[in-house]
Amino acid sequence: MEAWDVAGIIIAVFWAILVCFLAYMLVHLTKVLKETTVLVSNVTEHTVPLLTELVDTVAHTNAQLGKVDTITTNLAGVSTNVNALTSTFTHTIGGPLVKIASFAYGLRTAAKLRHRADAEKKVRETMKAGRAARRSAR
């Protein structure tokens, strides 16, 4: 055997090893692709119902937000009505009520001053009578 023959055999053996390695890699690649296909199929099967439920949830949430918007609008109207009612009450009842309270305060103050003046007058008369009694007793 010549050197060329030995080199040819070595090349053929390396070529056979390379082909076996590539065949082995293709078999594993086929398994990985099958598993990926199954995974994508499962994800698709589970995602579609999930998206349908999500659409239903969003629609329900939008309906509830519409109701909340209506309630908020009604509350704003009630707030405006209460403000108007308070303003009317203040103008209608508030003015006369303040006048009545001022009048009552004036009456109380006048009654206190009169009572005080009466008490002071009695004290003066008592003191005057006491002085007069002392003068006549001397």
Q: What is the per-residue pLDDT across 29-56, written as a single tens digit (0 to 9) for each? A: 999 999 999 999 888 888 888 888 999 9
Q: Say if 115 falls within a structural domain.
A: no
**In whole angstroms, what is the distance from residue 73 CA to residue 69 CA?**
6
Is 61 within the bounds of a domain? Answer: yes
Q: Is residue 116 part of a domain?
A: no
Q: Which H helix or E strand runs over 37?
A: helix 3-89
Does the pLDDT of residue 1 top 80, yes or no?
no
- pLDDT of res. 93: 80
With CA atoms as reference, report the closest residue to 108 among 96, 100, 98. 100
Domain count for the chain, please give it. 1
Is the residue at 56 inside a domain? yes
The average confidence (pLDDT) of the chain is: 88
Asked, for residue 111, whether it belongs to a domain, the answer is: no
Q: How many angstroms separate the CA atoms of 46 and 90, rounded? A: 65
Q: Which domain holds residue 66?
A: 1-97
Please state, in angstroms and rounded to a whole number, the distance separating the CA atoms of residues 79 and 85.
10
State both tokens at 121.
């007058």
